Structure formats: structure tokens, C-alpha cells
Amino acid sequence: MKPKQIQITSANEQQLITISKKGLLSLSKKEMKAIQKYYQQQGREPTDAELETIAQTWSEHCIHKTFNALIDTPDGQIDSLFKTYIFKATNELDKKWCISVFKDNAGIVKFDDEHAVAMKVETHNHPTALDPYGGAGTGTGGVFRDVMGVGAKPILSTNMLFFGPLDIPHTQLPPGTMHPKRLMKGSVAGIRDYGNRMGIPTANGGVAFDQGYIGNPLVYAGTVGIMPKNKYICNAQSGDLILLVGGKTGRDGIHGVTFASVELEETSEKTSSGAVQIGNPVEEKKTLDGLLRARDCDALPLYSAITDCGGGGLSSAIGEMGKELGVEVHLDKVPLKYAGLEPWEIWISEAQERMILIVPPENKESILEIFKNENCLATIIGKLRNDKKLVLYHEQDKVAELEMSFLHSVPKITRKAKWKKIEEKEPNLPEKITYGEDLKKILRSPNVASKEWVIRQYDHEVQAKTVIKPLQGKAQGPGNACVLKPKYDSWKGIVISNGVNSKYSENPYNMTLSAIDEALRNNVCCGGRRIAILDNFSWGSPSNPETMGALVKACEACYDGAKGFDTPLISGKDSLHNEYKVKGKTMAIPHTMVISAIGIIPDIRKAITMDLKKPGTSIYLVGETLDELGGSHYFMVNELTGGKVPGVNLARAKKTMDRLIEAIDSELILSCHDCSEGGLAVTAAEMSFAGGLGMTIDLEHVPTNLEREDKILFSESNSRFLVEVTNEKKFEEKMKELPFAKIGKVTQEPELKIKERRSLDPNIDDKKKLVINEKIKDLKNEWEATFKW
């Protein structure tokens, strides 16, 4: 099989574009021209393997073109979103407990003196659109490998899923798309089978729905891992061997990375079969077992560096590993599922369950022995050089020879950003006498409704580390975050939470701050502190200036939020081009910003759940309720748009969370739940039915300038907590200078009673009418009805 040459040195612009399109390379005109220039200087034509390698390395997936781009905004030029916002915040915060940020496959922070925790969140949107079971499953398997790729053992799987509305009739679906219900069932099954079969608990996550995801569902998969601090190693030397471990290589997932930068079209479902990956969790489990033995069998790991094969396959993994030294690979050595693969296909295949270890020659025999014992394939396929060149062989033929300096010198692109005017016009909505029906509607709405159908399919107990679980309280309500106790001989725990609300996407800056605030307050509710966050973007096409502008605003909010909350960003992921073309019209997803937070709790015995515990105790609301109903569920169930998207008062939010942690540590709190979708009313309902108890609230005491009861009940203002307090005096002392008030108490009687703000006769409190008066059982039934599948 002689390498094929591709004629580009004499091609004109149009031909260059055609070459890129036909080969599914996703390279732009500017990039093709840079490649052309390189080969003109070399005086030869590129081979197919070389061109593929460049396309993979320069793809959005691998080098984050947009985040490194020059961006022209109405307020001047920005040189790289990474440098200007994301990395900058982390650099400025300069936390000693951050061990590796934005460098490896996963972010790594200190856990205790011996151990570190690693976390990574990935997106797997396009593959899931085509094959939900395989796409979501391999997304999960892929992010496990990201964490394994720093030498950590996965101890938690988390995921965030976004689909179109479940009740859309089949006839209204754009051609070539699957029904949201099929996508959801398939994705959940894929995540379930991968996590459960590998023995990794899936104990945290979320599902949300919006019209905008019909043509383009989103799947975020995240993993937390733990490792001994001294086993983190990255010390490859020239002469070290390249060891490929795990699954065999087939034609699966070819062009997955470059495909991710293409808009989905009606025909995508039929033409991009190569882009689908098939998962095999059992294979990955064996790889993990071998890897952990190779890591722990001696004082130092048997490998000198490690990474996983994800997007771009061997080309990305090995290209990155050999960046500083140079590398040669003999592609014919790679074990194949079946014969007949072209060398370039072997090189870029995204076949799953494969990892790359760099092994010093003296450890070769012992590491091969380990993987042999685990019944896991391990093959030496090449070695590191010292001439900074990437050289590929297939049998006797040299199929590629590229200089690393060229391969990693991606032409900088320029993007244009425009600010979209933010509409905050208040809709017209008459006041009502009672709001029980609105509350029920919100509880039924799929974003808020119980996800027990999903949760119960996942094994969240395996490994026996899960302390605080997805459903909490004797009557089971939705938890804030997940708490893990990773070590048997220590009470110290890890707290993992998420924040996202794409209904706020009209105002991307506030949306991002809200997501950060939500992730942090969920974490704080359980007792998490010293929190690090991960930024995960899913956006439409950045070549649209308004979409790009929204991305800039979101990054700005990441910087402000990280600085304001004193919480470093440690890892991230961007999936752009989430668009879908139907009948020539492009539909983009709502900007979706998922913030994942990982905190520490010194003693898991002090962790707090959200269910009400004790009749008679007082309920406090901490935080101010503002006129912020833009993107709220209250507006949504009343079919209204407009309004102000919630913002964050950073200084006050930070102080609130710090004080709350002090109160948790001083054991002043019995239960705590944050106010998010659906506002105060939903929070109160959830706490009540989780504990099987009731609650009375008087709206008069709520810290707010608002007069309208519906706004107080359903505003989604950030940084608010509903807290069941045991020691009122001490709690009030802790909270002083912050907006807070005692607004009600826990009752034995299982009913939620909320009194109006003003009564006609201020002296007769009893005469106050109830704006909400519902049986807890009824509220719970509403909450559970939607997903009784």
C-alpha cells in the first residue's frame, strides 16, 4: 500500500477548498494556503496521511482555534479568549492547591497530603445526535479515559443532557433527526451501560429541555478521579517506547473531530457513518486495571508519560506526546479489528478504549507482562525521537514526515464579535389570587420534574464511596450536589455539583455568572469549600458575529466569576458549531454554559442534605429576591418572554457562601437548599416533600423590595438559600450584614402554606390569605408525573 499523494502545491483557491471539503478535513482557505506554502517550500506534495494529520491537529476540537483567535469586538481587539479571560483568572488566583490546570487531559487539584483529585468534563454532541446509545456511551467512556490519562482512577461519572421538547409530534421533527424521547432514552442507556459495567458510580447530573436542541442534542459527560500525588508523572525522554494499550483499531469514528466542526445537515444521519463510535466498557475496565497496576507496582510508574486516545485517535495523542521531541510510529504494528485499513485510517481512527503510554525501554518487559495478565492488548508501536519530527511508517514505506514545529504552528484565525442588544422588556401579566397551579405547572415542567427514571438506572453506589446521593430524604427529593468519601481511612470528602441554565441565554454574561453561582451554591449547600470550577461551552457557529459576541461575554463572566468567588478554573471544553440546517435555514442551539464545581468537605459527617428534618424549626431565607424573572420557569409556564435575567452581586454572594459554610461547620443548620429554577416556591416545595414534612412561610418577611407575590415566589435571583436552622441566635450572628430573614417554620402537618405579603389588617396576622396552600403529597405527585416512563 504505497502512500497516496495529494496535489496541492499548484492548486488554486477553489481547488484547495474542494480538497478540504471532499476529504472532510474541515480546513479553511487560510489554513489550506498555509499548508500549500509549507509544501511549496518542501518542494513536494503532501501524502494523504500528512494532510489528515494536519487536519486533525488543527481541528477546533484539538487546538481550540476560536478560543485562541484574534477577536474584533466593538470595544477593541481581544487576543485569545484563553489568555484574556480563562487562563488569566486562574493565573491571577495562583492557588497552591492547583496541581495541573489546562495542561493535561484533566484538571488536577490537591485532595490531602497524599492524594490528588482530577476532573474533566467533555461534550459528545454530534455523535449522540447520530447514535444516542453509542454516542453518549463513548462520551462517558472517553471522559473516563481523560481522567485515566493523568494516571487517576475514576470514582464518579456525571453528565448533563439537553434535548428538544419530549412532546413534539414526530411529524414536526426536521427530517433526519431522531425524536427527543428516543435520543434521551438512548443516551441514558449508553451512559448507564458504560458506567455500570465499568463499576464507576453515576451519582450526579441533570437533564434539560428546550426547543433549540431539537436538531442538535447536547451530551456533557464528566468524571472525577483520584490518584496518589506522587504518581503524577510527565517525563518522556527520547528513546522511550510508545505503547498502545486497550482495544483494537477499526474504521470507527474516522473524522469524528473534523466532523464536529461541521454543521449537521439533513443527510448527516446517512453519510457520516464513520463518525459513530462503538463502546466496549469491559475492554476499558481491563485497560484501567492494567494501568493502575503499572502505576502502582513500583515507587514510580512504569511509564514516563500517559495520555488517552480520544478525538483524532493516535494522531492527536501521539502528535501531542511527541511535540517536544519528535516521534516515529509503525502503523502496521497497530492491532486491527479487520484487514484493509489505509495507513491514514489507522492513524486517525477514533476506535475506543485505547490509551498511549510512553515507556522507558528498561520497563518494557514488566509492563507488557502486566497487561498480558489483565488479558489486555498492549503493543509497542514506535518510539520518541530527538529531531522534532513526526515520522509514520507502514511496513517498508514512509507514509508521512512532518516537522513538529509546522504541525503545531496553526495559523491564528480572526473572528468578529458583535454585542446583541439585550431585551429586558417586562411582559404584562395580571396578578392572581393564588399561585398553587403555577407551582404545580413548574414542578411538572420537564426541567424541574423528578428524574428518578434516569437516576435509578445508574448505579450510584458501586465503589461504596457515595455519601450524599442524587435523591435525598426519607421521601426522596432532588439533591443539590453529590458527596463522595474517596478514602476508607479518612472522613474527608469531595463535593461535586453543576450549574447551567440555557433559558438565560439571551444575556450570556448573566447566564454564565448564574451558572457559576448555581454550581457553587449547590456545592456550598452540602458543605463544599475550596472549590475549583470547569467551564464547558456548547455554542452555535462562531463565524456568526452575534454568537461570537455571546461567547466573549460568557468568557468575560468566567473571569469575573472566578475572580469574584475566588475559585480557579481548572479545565474546560468547548464545542462550537452546534447548528443544524433544515430546508436551508440554520438553527443554532441556545448558548449553553455548563459549570461543574468540585469542592472539598473536611468531614463528610457534617455534610448537609436538602430535606426538612424537624417540625418546629425555623426556616430562613438568605439572599435578596430581586425583580429577575427573565428566562424564569414562571414566565415559561405562562408562555411569556422578556424580563431581566438574574445577575450576581459577586462580593455579597461570596460572603454569603463563606458565612454559610461557617454555619454548616458550627452545626447550626439541619437542611439547606438553593433557590434556582422556579425560585423560592419550588425550593420550599422540594425541601418539604423530600422530608415528608410541611412548611409555612410568610412572604412579608422575605428580604426584597418587590411587592408582587408572584415575583417573590418565582423570581430566580441568584445566591439565595433556604435554610432550616437549629440555633437561631448563632445563625443570625453569622449572617449579619447580609440580607436574610426568618420567613417561616417546619410543620408536622404535610402541607405547604405560603401567606401573602400584605394583609388588609396588619394587626391580625391570622387573617392573611394564603397564596399557596397545597398538600405535600399532591406537589410530589405533580413532580413525579412527568417521567413515569
Partner 1 sequence: MWVIGVTYQSPDVDPIGLNKKVEMEDLGLPVKQVNTMHVYYIQSNATKEQIEKACKELLADPIIQDYTYQQDTNSLQLAETSSWLIEVKNKPGVTDAVGESTKKGLETLGLEVDQVHTAFTYSIEGQLEEEQIKQIAEKILANPLIQEYKYVRK
Strand ranges for 247-304 from DSSP E: none
Catalytic residue among 64, 115, 124, 673: 124
Residue 28 or 128: the one with the smaller Cβ distance to partner 1 is 128
Q: Supply the minimum distance, in Å, between the C-beta of residue 532 and partner 1.
A: 35
- The total of other beta-carbon atoms located within 10 Å of residue 411's CB is 14
Residue 50 or 131: the one with the smaller Cβ distance to partner 1 is 131
Residue 65 or 255: the one with the smaller Cβ distance to partner 1 is 255
Taking CB under 8 A as the rule, does residue 269 contact partner 1?
Answer: yes
Q: Supply the minimum distance, in Å, between the C-beta of residue 142 and partner 1.
A: 15
Q: Supply the minimum distance, in Å, between the C-beta of residue 697 and partner 1.
A: 39
Residue 458 or 721: the one with the smaller Cβ distance to partner 1 is 458
Residue 288 or 302: the one with the smaller Cβ distance to partner 1 is 288
Q: Supply the minimum distance, in Å, between the C-beta of residue 251 and partner 1.
A: 6
Taking CB under 8 A as the rule, does residue 789 contact partner 1?
Answer: yes
Residue 338 or 488: the one with the smaller Cβ distance to partner 1 is 338
Inter-helix orientation angle 436-444/679-691, to 10°: 70
Taking CB under 8 A as the rule, does residue 130 contact partner 1?
Answer: yes
Asked if residues 327 and 384 have their Cβ atoms less than 8 Å apart, the reply is yes
**Alpha helix locations (H) across 414-485?**
436-444, 452-455
Q: Which of 4, 110, 182, 330 binds partner 1 (CB under 8 A)?
A: 182
Binding mask 490-529 for partner 1 (x = CB under 8 A): ----------------------------------------
* Interface size with partner 1, residues (CB under 8 A): 27
Q: Supply the minimum distance, in Å, between the C-beta of residue 394 and partner 1.
A: 20
Residue 130 or 670: the one with the smaller Cβ distance to partner 1 is 130
Q: Supply the minimum distance, in Å, between the C-beta of residue 262 and partner 1.
A: 16
- CA–CA separation, 161 vs 219, rounded Å? 5
- CA–CA separation, 132 vs 211, rounded Å? 18
Contacts of 592 (CB under 8 A, 6+ apart): 162, 218, 500, 502, 505, 537, 538, 539
Q: Which of 52, 283, 350, 574 binds partner 1 (CB under 8 A)?
A: 283
Q: Supply the minimum distance, in Å, between the C-beta of residue 250 and partner 1.
A: 6
DSSP three-state, residue 587? strand
**What are 527's three cell numbers?**
458543605
Residue 87 or 580: the one with the smaller Cβ distance to partner 1 is 580
Q: Supply the minimum distance, in Å, between the C-beta of residue 188 and partner 1.
A: 12
Binders of partner 1 among residues 717 to 776 (CB under 8 A) are none
Q: Which of 48, 50, 52, 131 binds partner 1 (CB under 8 A)?
A: 131
In this structure, which amino acid lies at residue 183? L
Q: Supply the minimum distance, in Å, between the C-beta of residue 503 and partner 1.
A: 26
* Residue recorded with cell 517525563: 235
| Phi–psi pair at 468, nearest 5 degrees | -110, 125
Q: Supply the minimum distance, in Å, between the C-beta of residue 352 and partner 1.
A: 8
How many residues belong to the chain? 789
Residue 131 or 628: the one with the smaller Cβ distance to partner 1 is 131
Q: Supply the minimum distance, in Å, between the C-beta of residue 278 and partner 1.
A: 4
Taking CA atoms, 291 is separated from 246, 279, 286, 697, in Å, by: 10, 19, 8, 55
Binders of partner 1 among residues 319 to 378 (CB under 8 A) are 337-338, 351, 375
Residue 137 or 590: the one with the smaller Cβ distance to partner 1 is 137
Binding mask 214-253 for partner 1 (x = CB under 8 A): ------------------------------------xxx-
Binders of partner 1 among residues 673 to 702 (CB under 8 A) are none
- CA–CA separation, 233 vs 253, rounded Å? 29
Taking CB under 8 A as the rule, does residue 170 contact partner 1?
Answer: yes
Taking CB under 8 A as the rule, does residue 416 contact partner 1?
Answer: no
Q: Supply the minimum distance, in Å, between the C-beta of residue 216 and partner 1.
A: 16
Q: Which of 273, 366, 373, 666 binds partner 1 (CB under 8 A)?
A: 273
Taking CB under 8 A as the rule, does residue 134 contact partner 1?
Answer: yes
Tally the C-alpha atoms within 13 A of residue 431's C-alpha that lie toward its C-beta: 10
Torsion, Cα of 435, 436, 440, 445 (10° steps): 0
Residue 210 or 345: the one with the smaller Cβ distance to partner 1 is 345
In this structure, which amino acid lies at residue 583? K
- CA–CA separation, 515 vs 160, rounded Å? 13
Q: Which of 279, 290, 499, 568 binds partner 1 (CB under 8 A)?
A: 279
Taking CA atoms, 743 is separated from 119, 524, 667, in Å, by: 38, 21, 20
**What are 11's three cell numbers?**
492548486
Eight-state DSSP code of residue 41: H
Residue 354 or 753: the one with the smaller Cβ distance to partner 1 is 354
- Options 130-138, 538-546, 602-610, 776-784: segment touching partner 1 (CB under 8 A): 130-138
Question: What does DSSP say about strands 694-698 and 751-755: parallel, antiparallel, or unpaired?
Answer: parallel
Residue 195 or 545: the one with the smaller Cβ distance to partner 1 is 195
- Identify the burial level of 182 via C-beta atoms within 10 angstroms of its C-beta, where 0-12 means exposed, 13-18 middle and 19 or more buried: middle
Asked if residues 301 and 214 have their Cβ atoms less than 8 Å apart, the reply is no
DSSP three-state, residue 308? strand
Q: Which of 22, 270, 583, 729 binds partner 1 (CB under 8 A)?
A: 270
Q: Supply the minimum distance, in Å, between the C-beta of residue 247 and partner 1.
A: 8
Taking CB under 8 A as the rule, does residue 171 contact partner 1?
Answer: no
Three-state SS annotation for 352-388: CCEEEEEECHHHHHHHHHHHHHCCCCEEEEEEECCCC
* Residue recorded with cell 455523535: 127
Residue 570: which of 66, 205, 104, 63 has the closest Cα? 104
Mark 6-17 as b/e (b = at least 16 C-beta within 10 Å): bebbebeeeebe
Asked if residues 355 and 245 have their Cβ atoms less than 8 Å apart, the reply is yes
Cα radius of gyration (the chain): 27
- Options 69-77, 277-285, 628-636, 674-682: segment touching partner 1 (CB under 8 A): 277-285
- Options 264-272, 466-474, 647-655, 715-723: segment touching partner 1 (CB under 8 A): 264-272
Binders of partner 1 among residues 427 to 456 (CB under 8 A) are none
Q: Is 61 an annotated catalytic residue?
A: yes
Catalytic residue among 61, 115, 255, 394: 61
Q: Which of 95, 110, 181, 330 binds partner 1 (CB under 8 A)?
A: 181
What does 576-602 look like in DSSP terms, one character per residue? ---EEEETTEEEEPPPEEEEEEEEEES
Asked if residues 99 and 229 have their Cβ atoms less than 8 Å apart, the reply is yes
Asked if residues 668 and 730 have their Cβ atoms less than 8 Å apart, the reply is yes
Q: Is 124 an annotated catalytic residue?
A: yes
Asked if residues 709 and 756 have their Cβ atoms less than 8 Å apart, the reply is yes
**What are 363's three cell numbers?**
520497563
Contacts of 423 (CB under 8 A, 6+ apart): 506, 642
Tally the C-alpha atoms within 13 A of residue 769's C-alpha that lie toward its C-beta: 10
Which are the catalytic amino acids? 61, 124
Interface positions with partner 1 (CB under 8 A): 130-131, 133-134, 170, 179, 181-182, 185, 250-252, 269-270, 272-273, 276, 278-280, 282-283, 337-338, 351, 375, 789
